A = this chain, B = another copy of it.
């Protein structure tokens, strides 16, 4: 890697995501790269293995509905106050996607183990849950070596091939300011590669900014950055803008039927040129 690239737009970022990528994404409130997600649909990416930290919403639902997804690894897929995720639900019922159902703390712990380069992590809870029964090849119950008679679940480390998220700003060296969204650190550190969209690319070095430095992911983890104004829309970007609840309600309604979803994609994904993103 020879320094972080600042690329032209989300189409250029989307071109860096191969089919079959294990894609790490954040929860709805953390800064979801929605503009990039639409570009991925436009580019027609296939067979994504989406791993959500720790859950996902409209992002996964659109990718699933558009046929981009092979596997979903998550604690939940939900449109939250706008209801269940319609494409996800349909895909589960038809068996169109593989499920790796999990629980938030197991995904966090697994990804933190990935950050640390350790092979697995022992965690409390989970014993007796069907989440463990259905992932018995990964989630093993072992006896605590330090205290025999104390069963524990171990969770394998998670290192996504690529993490994608949206943040407030990056500088020209590729350092990315994420503010209070600490989960972006976990994603960027855990993933093999990291692609980021930002509201704004600034001229000053963020690591030299005493107040912003503690919430800045250094460029050593970032492969490429693209500017994408309102790049989390219709979701929120903490500290910048809230969710577009009218649009999310519209999505929930339209995606409620396969035909409605096709129309949604036509209107809000395909016709949105890169320039508009």
Contacts and interface: CB of A to CB of B under 8 A. Distances in A.
Interface of A: 109, 112, 116-124, 140, 142, 144-147, 150, 152, 154, 156, 178-180, 182, 210-215, 239
A-side interface mostly: loop
Nearest to A105: B116
Contacts of A154: 145-146
Nearest to A239: B210
Contact of A214 (B112, B120, B210, B214): B214
Name, among A112, A146, A147, the residue most crowded by chain B CB atoms within 10 Å (CB to CB).
A146
Contacts of A144: 119-120
A176 to B, nearest CB: 13
Copy number in the complex reads 2
13 contacts: A112-B116, A119-B152, A120-B122, A120-B146, A140-B146, A178-B214, A179-B210, A180-B210, A180-B214, A182-B214, A210-B239, A211-B211, A214-B215
B140 A145 contact: yes
Contacts of A121: 118, 121-122
B124 A147 contact: no
A180 B145 contact: no
A199 to B, nearest CB: 14
Contacts of A214: 178-180, 182, 214-215
Given A118-B121, A120-B146, 14 more contacts: A112-B112, A112-B116, A118-B122, A118-B124, A119-B144, A119-B150, A120-B144, A122-B122, A140-B145, A145-B154, A146-B154, A179-B213, A211-B211, A211-B212
A146 to B, nearest CB: 6
A109 B119 contact: no
A122 B121 CA distance: 7
A150 B142 CA distance: 16
Contacts of A120: 122, 144-146
